Amino acid sequence: MAIEILMPALSPTMEEGTLTKWFVKEGDKVEPGDLLAEIETDKATMEFEAVEEGIIEKLLITEGTEGVEVNSAIATLIGEENLIQKKVKDPDVLVTEKLQTSEIPAEQIKNNSNSKSLDRVFISPLARRIAEKEGIDISLITGTGPRGRIIKKDLANLKSTKVNNRSETPNITLANDISPNILDNFPYNSLLEIYADREFTEVLLDGMRKTIASRLSEAKQSIPHFYLRRSVKMENLMDFRQKVNKKLSDQNVKVSINDIIIKACAQALQTHPSANAIWGGNRLIKFKSSDIAVAVSVEGGLFTPVIKDTDQKTISNISSEMKDLASRARAKKLSPSEFQGGSFAISNLGMFGVESFDAIINPPHSAILAVGTSMQKPAILDDGCLGVAVEMELSMSVDHRVIDGVLGAQLLQAIVNNLENPIGLLNI
């Protein structure tokens, strides 16, 4: 019996990908570790290796195919134990034939439980989420995916059947009567009608942009955000940075304000370890080390590479690692382990002159710090007189399920204290 090679999940959030290139052709013999294909996910382009020995029987997906669902069949493999070779007239020529095998009936493969629970039905993660959102009873659906698996197409077919069989008059929604659900999935044809007299260009979404849109929409709707804001006096911080860079000048290392912010956040999480946690459904997962994710702008979206054990690293080490991660993120050369994980994130738009903003939490993180630009502002100086000081605006978005208001305020206070008294962040 042929073995199905399935679309791999190359990251925990991957639901579909693009098969950009095949490294094998039908009839090729492969061994574990041989490269099979190149797959583009929402985060990177990665190579997919064989895990079994055998002969490539059939390539089911052509190169360049987008939206290939995780766990859907992309090729079939004939295992070595299922092959026989027999000589033909030319003794130097061998013909490979498949052994006749009996396949397990589909009825035996499908879940035989009468429960309608989504957790006990063979269904893809994407189809599961759609079914939950749409309130579809999947016990009524026959899956067409591998081994009877219910996939996205099966749900679409069901909805199409329901529409075609509907006898009642459909509700008519006026163009100006737009609910949040309609805004989330505004009919494409309706948009074309609305903007028929305008000149425009359509830009198809790649996997990264689709994932960003989906994850952040879900995050904003499902995570109870609250926001805390503070100003940071920059005089000591700027003086500290100047002295650090002078000391490191012979090492060809130049730290940025952002590098120091990363260290300040890591130390603050150690000061308030209860905030160094993420939501785990029915429990909190608390971490010992401070793993900080940092948003990096790339073409078409953004990455959040994670600096592990940030609290244990010097500012100069953080600076070097951040530069390397950012460079490889822009080239889409990060491995999944380098952009997954962490409990806390930083997004800095200050370099673009943005005074302040509120960021959306990127799950599974429990908080994200939005960093604005440094500006001269009226302030009460240390001598009690009114003057002008350079200040930087911080806004922290917090998951209220993990971090309560007081704990969030204490965490942000610790970050501010670390930045205004940065000598405590040494050793460099």
Extract the tokens encoding 74.
Answer: 């992309």
Highest mean pLDDT among 131-135, 138-142, 193-197: 193-197
**pLDDT, position 172:** 35
**pLDDT, position 115:** 39
Supply the CATH classification number for the domain 222-425. 3.30.559.10
- Residues 313 and 91: their CA atoms lie apart, in Å, by 67
Residue 403 has pLDDT above 90, yes or no: yes
**pLDDT, position 404:** 96
Is the CATH code 4.10.320.10 the one for domain 106-165?
yes
Say whether pTM exceeds 0.75: no
| b/e burial code for range 197-220 (CB count within 10 A of at least 16 → b) | eeeeeeeeeebbebbbeeeeeebe
Q: Which of 8-17, 112-121, 209-218, 248-257 has the lowest mean pLDDT?
A: 112-121
**pLDDT, position 85:** 46
Q: Which residue intervals of the chain bear CATH 3.30.559.10?
A: 222-425
Q: Average pLDDT, stretch 175-199?
A: 62
Supply the CATH classification number for the domain 3-98. 2.40.50.100
> Which of 81, 74, 99 has its CA nearest to residue 7?
74
Provide CB contacts within 8 A for 344, sequence distance 6+. 265, 269, 275, 276, 290, 291, 292, 293, 365, 366, 367, 368, 369
**pLDDT, position 134:** 75
Say if CB 79 and CB 59 are below 8 A apart: no
Q: Which of 92-96, 161-165, 337-341 has the lowest mean pLDDT?
A: 92-96
Q: Which of 130-144, 259-273, 296-310, 322-336 has the lowest mean pLDDT?
A: 130-144
- Residues 373 and 392: their CA atoms lie apart, in Å, by 6
**pLDDT, position 423:** 92
Provide CB contacts within 8 A for 284, sequence distance 6+. 277, 278, 402
Residue 106 has pLDDT above 70, yes or no: no
Banded model confidence at residue 216, pLDDT cuts 50, 70, 90? confident
Highest mean pLDDT among 157-161, 301-305, 407-411: 407-411
User: 184: part of which helix (H) or strand (E)?
Assistant: helix 180-184
Q: Average pLDDT, stretch 261-272?
A: 97
Residue 75 has pLDDT above 70, yes or no: yes
**pLDDT, position 178:** 38
User: 352: part of which helix (H) or strand (E)?
Assistant: none
Q: Which of 74-88, 222-236, 394-408 has the lowest mean pLDDT?
A: 74-88
Q: Average pLDDT, stretch 243-267?
A: 93
Q: Which residue intervals of the chain bear CATH 4.10.320.10?
A: 106-165
Q: Which residue intervals of the chain bear CATH 2.40.50.100?
A: 3-98
**pLDDT, position 356:** 94
Banded model confidence at residue 322, pLDDT cuts 50, 70, 90? very high
The residues that are catalytic are 400
CB atoms < 10 A from the CB of 78, how many?
A: 21
Q: Which of 49-63, 113-127, 243-257, 341-355 has the lowest mean pLDDT?
A: 113-127
Share of the chain above pLDDT 70, in %: 79
- Residues 419 and 364: their CA atoms lie apart, in Å, by 26
